[in-house]
Structure 1
């Protein structure tokens, strides 16, 4: 049976200030926990059901992590999602390290993306299209939010995020000469835009307000996804997928 202190500790990680205080976050569900085990994250402990432990005993042994067996009911009471009936892990957060664009690399930038589900989806989309670096404004939602981790489906182990003042970031990389491509209503058609072969930065803005005026001044190319129907707007996750898909059609890895 789990101790009261462990239960209290895990529950505290649902709140940002305690994640920051402890430098830790939780991961729920078999797929995400298995991907966490194969990543370079430092893992504090893993809680598993007997069924999970039996099925993945060789993996758990190979990674030499602290494992505690619990019931499915205990997991459901601990996590954020009632459907988790297999495993839960607690790992250490990573340092918020500067991400510099490498030669011929595309990086993604998020300006005030607030919805955790959107951020998790964007991380997963970035992973699909081979984007490994995302630079986020300070008010973009926390990557270690349980809803972000759940929506990312393990892709958070392969995509690095850096939170910073975006104005300051542009000042620090101004000598790289990268084109900065921003998604704007009223921009040039995405289907007519030629993505530079030597890489660049693709910016996606806030769900309601788009890219801020402060960040807009650094944009070299404003492009839009043409609308053919009557919908008012696209979800930022879907829009990111369209932007990256068109980029990869022109600039394959």
Structure 2
């Protein structure tokens, strides 16, 4: 079965956020990420694969040429398989035994994907994104997670409302001025790490919800740290006693 005009139009529509939101689907590309997707509880609508793909899927698989795959891919160099899957409406539940990462207006897809992958590395299961963050199902976000997005709960909501509804949480806000994170004894349950926008930092409207301001001490001359790297450092500190 070759790629139909309707299939091509549908998959290419999912390159745009407005269409992903309207249709409720997203795309995942490459052998590693598609394998992670197929091993998750996400509902997979179908696959588009070249003859080089050696994976296994019981559902719909459309065999395509490399040129056809390139026509529907978001990658400069497509990697033999593309999947279309249904978005999930995540819920965090009430288990706050492990830290939560809260993200305020993270705009770069690579940064968000890196943070999701980093959280997975440290065993952090829950991430809360503000509604002004980049779309969690942006193809570049999914790609940067390397499959971690399929194992974590990533909730998109108003952070102010989330903090109001969960006022028992201890919120550590990452700021330029704060307690040295390496000297901070992090609370081991009901803990949130709040990370701000790449340029503007944490929104002032969220300051009232911060329980403790923390910072990564600067020893050199760089103006700032990449938010993905900063999150990794703080996750290591938060979880080192777990």
Q: Give the TM-score normalised by the residue count of structure 2.
A: 0.96
Query: Which structure 1 segments of 5+ residues have no match?
Result: none
Distance (whole Å) between structure 1 residues aligned to residue 14 and residue 42 of structure 2: 16
State whether structure 2 residue 220 is matched by structure 1 residue 234: no
* TM superposition shift of 1:100: 4.1
Between the two proteins, the alignment pairs up a number of residues equal to: 241
* TM superposition shift of 1:80: 0.8
* TM superposition shift of 1:79: 0.7
Task: Give the match for residue 171 of structure 2.
Answer: 180
Partner-residue secondary structure (3-state), 2:52: helix
Task: Give the match for residue 73 of structure 1.
Answer: 67
Distance (whole Å) between structure 2 residues aligned to residue 2 and residue 120 of structure 1: 29
1:1-253 map, 5 Å: 1-52=2-53, 55-56=54-55, 59-60=56-57, 64-95=58-89, 97-174=90-167, 177-250=168-241, 252=242
Distance (whole Å) between structure 2 residues aligned to residue 85 and residue 98 of structure 1: 32
Q: Deviations over 1:130-172 (max 9, x none)?
A: 1111111110111111110111110110111111111111111
Query: Is the Cα–Cα contact under 8 Å of residues 189 and 224 in structure 1 kept in the other structure?
Result: yes
* TM superposition shift of 1:88: 0.2
Which deviates more, 68-77 or 135-144?
68-77
Query: Is the Cα–Cα contact under 8 Å of residues 29 and 79 in structure 2 kept in the other structure?
Result: no
* TM superposition shift of 1:128: 0.6
Query: Is the Cα–Cα contact under 8 Å of residues 76 and 85 in structure 1 kept in the other structure?
Result: no
Distance (whole Å) between structure 2 residues aligned to residue 119 and residue 166 of structure 1: 16
Query: Is the Cα–Cα contact under 8 Å of residues 25 and 92 in structure 1 kept in the other structure?
Result: yes
* TM superposition shift of 1:14: 0.6
* TM superposition shift of 1:77: 1.9
Q: Deviations over 1:56-113 (max 9, x none)?
A: 2xx32xxx12111111221122111122131000001112x44245142211100111
Query: Is the Cα–Cα contact under 8 Å of residues 116 and 141 in structure 1 kept in the other structure?
Result: yes
The alignment yields a C-alpha RMSD, in angstroms, of 1.1
Q: Give the TM-score normalised by the residue count of structure 1.
A: 0.92
Query: Which structure 2 segments of 5+ residues have no match?
Result: none
Query: Is the Cα–Cα contact under 8 Å of residues 181 and 200 in structure 1 kept in the other structure?
Result: yes
Distance (whole Å) between structure 1 residues aligned to residue 131 and residue 189 of structure 2: 27
Query: Is the Cα–Cα contact under 8 Å of residues 32 and 154 in structure 1 kept in the other structure?
Result: yes
Partner-residue secondary structure (3-state), 1:217: helix
